[in-house]
A and B are shown apart, each in its own frame.
Chain A
Amino acid sequence: MKIIAVMPAYNESTRIAAAISGVRPFVHSVVVVDDGSRDTTASVARSAGARVLVHRLNRGQGAALKTGNAAALRLGADIVVHIDADGQHDPSYIPVAVEPILKKEVDVVYGSRYMGIDASGIPASRRFLHFGIRRFNALALGIPSRMTDPQSGFRVMTADAVRKLNFFQDRMAHCSELMSKVTHSDLRWKEVPVRVKYTAESLAKGNKALDSFKIVWQLILGGRD
């Protein structure tokens, strides 16, 4: 089974080499989508051994994931891993997330920060924000409340699941949209505990409280290609 990691990246030149090195032992290849970075993310990623695609303009993490998915399928991926480019996700948990798919138990696996493994450095405000998003996901999008991590960017899915999940949100709302599509489809899914390590830099880039209003607005506008 060919496992390919997809890393959307924006201005990650200082951290992407380490992120790629961490992921490579667990996958056949790494695809980095440089989403209009204004630094040397693309060249650093290439030097670290990743296959790199470049968005000429910044389009958002969702858009970069769609490009990365298409590239992974072109490379013959059987399993696609979505993982952050800032090293926030502990790549040693990739085998844990891939295992249920290899065993054909499920089609999609989400890595959760809230299943017993303490996230290092996560502030209380971020936990509270995710709690609020989880409630919104359940009420407005019908996502089961047993989905413990509402904004998980650590996902593993079969190539068939990638082809089936045609999502439209380019920016922050893609997480909720994907989750909604997965849980409302006939795809089998589960969550597994993963370790996440927060740093001051990654917290600065991550979701803030006001972003939740942007996400809701993006979901309201919805739309199709």
Chain B
Amino acid sequence: MLIQIIFSLSFAIALFTTWKRFREDAVRFAEACIWSLLWFAALLIVWWPGFVSFLAGKVGVGRGADLVIYSSIIIIFWLIFRVFVRLEAIERQTSALIRAEALHEFDNELAKEK
């Protein structure tokens, strides 16, 4: 019971934070919805662990805990890949800014020579 209460409080904080970040334009609406679904799923698992065992049986996995772990690994790898791709985009944007600055100074030098 105690773990369920702790998780429920954590869920409430996570949900509140998610929508607070949405209102601050830090997170898009679709992303806030997806994260909310994730928090609800976690809450469901905590209060109704039998449901996960039911799902596990349906997809051919032995135990509910195993299904949670397999699903978590897939989601985590997907998120890590998205982070890598996003980082790469930020690197290119940084390079574009640095290039623009260097070329701006170069253009000023050329203008002074004329």
A residues in contact (CB < 8 Å) with B: 33, 51, 53-57, 59-60, 63, 66-67, 70-71, 74-75, 168, 170, 221, 223-225
A6, chain B: closest CB distance, angstroms: 13
Q: Known: A70-B103, A74-B107, A74-B110. Contact between A56 and B88, CB under 8 A?
A: no
- Cβ–Cβ < 8 Å partners of A57 in chain B: 94, 98
Task: Give the distance in Å from the alpha carbon of A177 to the alpha carbon of B91 in the complex.
Answer: 17
Please report the total number of B residues contacting A with Cβ < 8 Å.
20
**Do B92 and A223 have beta carbons less than 8 Å apart?**
yes
User: What DSSP secondary structure best describes chain B's contact surface?
Assistant: helix
**Do B102 and A55 have beta carbons less than 8 Å apart?**
yes
**Do A223 and B88 have beta carbons less than 8 Å apart?**
yes
B residues in contact (CB < 8 Å) with A: 84-85, 88-89, 91-96, 98-99, 101-103, 105-107, 109-110
Q: Known: A53-B105, A74-B110, A170-B92. Contact between A59 and B98, CB under 8 A?
A: yes
- Cβ–Cβ < 8 Å partners of B94 in chain A: 57, 59
- Cβ–Cβ < 8 Å partners of B103 in chain A: 53, 67, 70-71, 74
Q: Known: A170-B91, A223-B92, A225-B92. Contact between A56 and B106, CB under 8 A?
A: no
**Do A70 and B99 have beta carbons less than 8 Å apart?**
yes
Q: Known: A71-B103, A74-B107. Contact between A55 and B98, CB under 8 A?
A: yes
B77, chain A: closest CB distance, angstroms: 14
Q: A53-B102, A66-B95 are in contact. List 4 more A-B contacts (CB 8 A).
A: A60-B95, A67-B103, A170-B91, A223-B92
**Do B95 and A59 have beta carbons less than 8 Å apart?**
yes
**Do B95 and A63 have beta carbons less than 8 Å apart?**
yes
Task: Give the distance in Å from the alpha carbon of A27 to the alpha carbon of B22 in the complex.
Answer: 56
- Cβ–Cβ < 8 Å partners of B107 in chain A: 74
B95, chain A: closest CB distance, angstroms: 4
- Cβ–Cβ < 8 Å partners of B102 in chain A: 33, 53-56, 67
A1, chain B: closest CB distance, angstroms: 21
Task: Give the distance in Å from the alpha carbon of A33 to the alpha carbon of B89 in the complex.
Answer: 22
Q: Known: A221-B84, A223-B88. Contact between A71 and B106, CB under 8 A?
A: yes
Task: Give the distance in Å from the alpha carbon of A60 to the alpha carbon of B85 in the complex.
Answer: 18
Question: 6 A–B contact pairs at CB < 8 A?
Answer: A54-B102, A63-B99, A66-B95, A168-B92, A170-B91, A221-B88
Q: Known: A59-B98, A67-B99, A221-B85. Contact between A53 and B106, CB under 8 A?
A: yes
Task: Give the distance in Å from the alpha carbon of A59 to the alpha carbon of B95 in the complex.
Answer: 6
Task: Give the distance in Å from the alpha carbon of A163 to the alpha carbon of B96 in the complex.
Answer: 16
